[in-house]
Amino acid sequence: MAEIKAEPFAFPVRHDQLALIVIDMQRDFAEPGGFGASLGNDVSRIGRIVPDVKRLIQGFRNAGLPVIHTMECHRADLSDLPPSKRDRGNPMLRIGDDGPMGRILIAGEPGTAILPELAPIDGEEVIEKPGKGAFYATGLGDVLQRKGIRQLVFAGVTTEVCVQTTMREANDRGYECLLAEEATESYFPEFKAAAIAMIRAQGAIVGWTAHVDDILESIAHA
């Protein structure tokens, strides 16, 4: 069996069951004036991972392996947005409010869109998710089952929230999960470091982590 160099030990990869999931690389989280900035975050941290995310996406495309994108967003009438999410904290803008790029995190609005450099191409699945995890209230499980996917490589943001939540959901469903370290980010560097440590603790209790170059080297021979 092929392997990807990883921590805490090599990831035993089966290329015919492997897919890339890119979590929430959206304008609202990565660009000035979006929701991430309204929370007081330094969104430039997210922008810095774009080249590595792009390399990873292109590597999967070149290898003929599935790429799945997620977008955190809600219905225009906010019927899928619980008060416990909308009312959290004290941001300048809340989900559903009018912002510089349209209504914040509402499906179809400009700010909700995936960054142009990372935009899906024809044939790639896009999962719209109302929660932090990509399995909750979505068809992701059905998509993976239809494609015969059992192993998932993760990229995107933020490491400790939507990425880690989805990895934990996937782990509970029996998927083997690998996080691409340079292709994920948090607004808080210490949170990214802690999430990576938690994911691969106790013998990969949630999953493995690996460098983008090592992942690309493996899938180039898929």
162 given a catalytic annotation = yes
Q: Which of 24, 52, 177, 192 is catalytic?
A: 24
Q: What would the two tokens of residue 133 be?
A: 């995890």
Residues 6+ positions from 126 with CB-CB distance below 8 Å: 68, 69, 70, 71, 114, 120
Contacts of 132 (CB under 8 A, 6+ apart): 72, 161, 162, 165, 166
| Residue 73: active-site member | no
Which position among 28, 52, 73, 129 bears the catalytic label? 129
24 tagged catalytic? yes
Catalytic residue among 28, 52, 132, 162: 162
Torsions phi, psi for 201 (to 5 deg) = -70, 160
Per-state percent for the chain, helix, strand, coil, to nearest 5: 40, 25, 40
> Would you name the residues annotated as active-site residues?
24, 129, 162
